[in-house]
A and B are shown apart, each in its own frame.
Chain A
Amino acid sequence: MVDTIRVEKGVTASAPPPPRKRRWRREWLPYILLIPAVLLELLIHIIPMLAGVAISFLKLTELYLSNWRAAPFAGASNYAVAVNFNSAIGQALLHSFTVTIVYTAIVLAVSWTFGMAAAVFTQRAFRGRGVIRTIFLVPYALPVFASVITWNFMLQRDTGMVNQLLLDLHLVHSRAFWLIGQNSFYSLVVVAIWRSWPFAFLILTAGMQSIPTDLYEAAALDGSGALGQVRHVTLPLLRPVNRVLLLVLFLWTFNDFSVPFTLFGSAPPSQADIISIHIYENSFVSWNFGTGSAMSVLLLLFLLLVTVIYLAAGRRGERHA
């Protein structure tokens, strides 16, 4: 939208100056049109977020649930509890944070690699390409609950399809637990990758549409093979797309609530204790919503910090390029 306005300005610069009323309308119209969006943004994002920040400074326990405005001021004590890594609460938060970082790193790396490979594979037209692309997108198109609850059924120990298949193929001799113990982490990673790689595929496929085919032809003439073309043409030209894709995938994976909650319920195994559920569970376990909010605010600050550093690094990289 910003682009269009600038172009219009460029065109009208040489024309006679418009009447004052029209100029006023042109200058203010965009802002007026923005008002509903800004109001909704305030209502849906900013105000609840500020309320969350405010709650993090309150001692909001069961005694004040029905009248939470009367909850006493707690200062920074909720934060002190959350970051006291010698206490059970702080230790559990740190453990959950570490699990989430490892989980996010694996899901991000594998989803992107799968997405990229599939996008390159379907870049050139061939018979059945549309069908394959559609199949690839299915996990992303399915509702989270419906698909993840199916995984939950498949991963059951006694009645699940996964164990049955492994037994039938004689790959294992006894039924393993997939939803508790160490395996629960791998189950979560697999389900999360299954859900998020099609998104990487979709965005990368869209990004590749704008790469002119003559660049590949030129690269081929220069002696580049298929891998060389990906390395010298596709990846550099996808750079802006990748920058946003990785950031969005990171934020989504790190914050994901629906997948682990549907897979494990409200008491996830400690090996797969993802931070969003950990915070939720903490608020509802102790009925001390102040601590839960303080943890949420810390998480928000961490994600903002990562985002700012990532964008700054990306910008510097762009300047050097």
Chain B
Amino acid sequence: MRPTKLSTLALAAALAAVPLAACGSSSGTSSAAHPTLTYWATNQGTSLQNDRQVLSPQIAKFTKQTGIKVNFEVIPWTTVLNQITAATVSGKGPDVLNIGNTWSPSLQATGALVQFTPSVMSQIGGSSRFLAGSLSATGAPGKPPTAVPLYSLAYGLYYNKAMFAAAGISSPPTTWAELITDGKKLTTSSHWGLSIEGGSVAENIHMAFELSQQQGGQFFDAAGKPTFDTPQNVAAVKQMMDFIQTDKITNPSDAQYSKGTEALVDYATGKTAMVIWQAASGSLKQLGMNAANIGVAPVPLPSPMPSGGKTVTSMVAGINMAVFKNTKNMSAALKFVKFMTSTPEQESLNGTYGSLPTVSAAYSDPVFHTSAVTTFRSILTSSAAPMPPVAQESAFETSVGTAIIHLYASAATGKAVTNSMIAQALSQAQQQLGG
């Protein structure tokens, strides 16, 4: 008898072996008169709590105007893509959700999001309201978009004016060589030159993409096939590693930074003099940084430019808003999208977060006439390139971004990262995509 009992117990334990990701999701309840929407917001502020404080009054305003209630949840960047994937598989998700604009082609391919055909677009006020650049990152070219732009963002080089002045540096670096020279001057016993978010997939992939563009590289060829391990891409990643291992202007501890805010906090609190970050004036204010010390400049370029190199200093960053196809409250969901992209909301939300409005009318607000906003707007219009618009985009972000996390870990723990190690890591990432 004992073996039978044992076998049963063991079998039960073994059955629990298959790892399953438990993913919960909820859906809005449908009631014709007063429907309740479920909205997944992304983390735009300094913390999830900060986002709740920013969004609550706006959503209350929407409920007051329309009678439609909105249950919203702020989802951290570390889990948002997995949660959207789970919602897509189960068909049970929110009514309205925010997505990173670079994932638009991937999520478009799943067929889980409502297509913004001209007739749907007209229900939210028409596509002509939006900036053309922001609208370009809402899906694969030639297909109806499955999202509309909500916040526009671009990368810039934030530098601490006081620290620069103290080190006798009069202007922000415009070339990478200058950045490294300045960074070495700014690396002292009390602070480092440049902070990075080395454990973050998103930050790593964005920087690798921008540096690869400057080297004249690309991660997908014209046919949409992955080309990860080209010499240009290797050079781009090597440049990132060298901040820690050769130039020594970055604290090796930054290799562990993965929460998506740590490098910025180091900049805001004076632990580092520079950080390459998306428009963050709202967050820096929240973190208590003296506004007089905040300087923004375009990300440096190589000098001389490598052959085929592009003067790209940022990816077209931003957050899009999408409607889940399985929603039972389509008309209420579209009303909510219309509300969030309306001129007053765009002014209020982007003004608070320090991001850029996606509708042209909002720029008449003086809030967006500051020098930081002007810098970011000019980066976005003149030196920003969209991430590859392929269905495998999110897989590319995760596989290459994760490979760079591991490379940073090697560089930080004293194991020299060579070009061949980078090429091998990129080639393995490519194989994960079946390329």
Contact = CB atoms under 8 A, between A and B. Distances in A.
Interface of A: 2, 45-46, 48-49, 52, 62-63, 65-68, 87-89, 92, 156-158, 175, 177, 179-182, 240, 243-244, 247-248, 251-252, 254-255, 257, 265-267, 269-270, 276, 279-282, 284-288, 296-297, 299-300, 303-304, 307, 310-311, 314-315
Interface in B71-90: 78, 81-82, 85, 88-89
Contacts of B20: 48, 52
Q: Which of A67, A89, A156, A286 has the most CB of B within 10 A?
A: A286
Contact of B256 (A48, A180, A255, A287): A180
A36 to B, nearest CB: 16
Nearest to B433: A286
B199 A285 contact: no
Interface of B, helix, strand, loop or mixed by DSSP: helix
Nearest to A269: B409
Given A89-B432, A285-B398, A303-B17, 12 more contacts: A63-B391, A66-B111, A177-B252, A180-B255, A180-B413, A181-B410, A251-B10, A280-B19, A285-B402, A286-B434, A296-B17, A307-B11
Contact of B406 (A66, A265, A267, A297): A267
Contact of A257 (B19, B258, B433, B434): B19
B58 interface: no
B91 interface: yes
A255 B394 contact: no
B24 to A, nearest CB: 15
Given A267-B199, A280-B19, A311 B109 contact: no
Contacts of A89: 431-432
B239 interface: no
Contacts of B412: 177, 180-181
Given A300-B14, A300-B18, A311-B6, A88 B428 contact: yes
Interface in B1-52: 1-3, 6-7, 9-21
A50 to B, nearest CB: 11
Contacts of A296: 17-19
A265 B112 CA distance: 27
B201 interface: yes
B161 interface: no
A179 B253 CA distance: 10
7 contacts: A62-B391, A65-B89, A157-B256, A247-B10, A255-B19, A284-B82, A311-B3
A65 B413 contact: no
The 8 lowest CB-CB distance pairs between A and B, nearest first, are A181-B413, A180-B409, A88-B428, A88-B431, A66-B112, A276-B19, A65-B110, A307-B10
Contacts of B218: none
Interface string B318-329: 000000010000
A89 B412 CA distance: 25
Contact of A65 (B82, B88, B409, B432): B88
Contacts of A257: 19
Interface of B: 1-3, 6-7, 9-21, 78, 81-82, 85, 88-89, 91, 106, 109-112, 199, 201, 251-253, 255-256, 258, 325, 391-392, 394-395, 398-399, 402, 405-406, 409-410, 412-413, 415, 427-428, 431-434
A44 to B, nearest CB: 10
Q: Which of B109, B253, B432, B434 has the most CB of A within 10 A?
A: B432
A5 to B, nearest CB: 12
Given A89-B432, A179-B256, A284-B398, A244 B6 contact: yes
A174 to B, nearest CB: 10
Contact of B109 (A63, A68, A158, A297): A63
Contacts of B428: 88, 92
Contacts of A87: 431
A45 B89 contact: no
B256 A156 contact: yes
B434 A288 contact: yes
A248 B16 CA distance: 11
A251 B17 CA distance: 7
B112 A65 contact: yes
Contact of B106 (A62, A288, A307): A62
B67 to A, nearest CB: 31
A181 B434 contact: no
A265 B17 contact: no
Nearest to A292: B19
Contacts of A243: 6
A65 B113 CA distance: 12
A267 B402 contact: yes
A191 B165 CA distance: 46
Contacts of B16: 45, 251, 255
B395 A286 contact: yes
Contacts of A279: 19
Q: Which of B10, B12, B201, B398 has the most CB of A within 10 A?
A: B10
Contact of B14 (A181, A270, A284, A307): A307
Q: Which of A67, A87, A285, A286 has the most CB of B within 10 A?
A: A285
A10 B80 CA distance: 61
B124 to A, nearest CB: 23
Contacts of A314: 3, 6
B13 A299 contact: no
A243 B410 CA distance: 41
Contact of A266 (B78, B253, B255, B431): B78
B75 to A, nearest CB: 14
Contacts of A177: 252-253, 255-256, 409, 412-413
Nearest to B424: A88
Contacts of A68: 89
Contact of A88 (B7, B82, B325, B427): B427
A191 B431 CA distance: 33
A65 B85 CA distance: 8
B17 A300 contact: yes
Contacts of B111: 63, 65-67
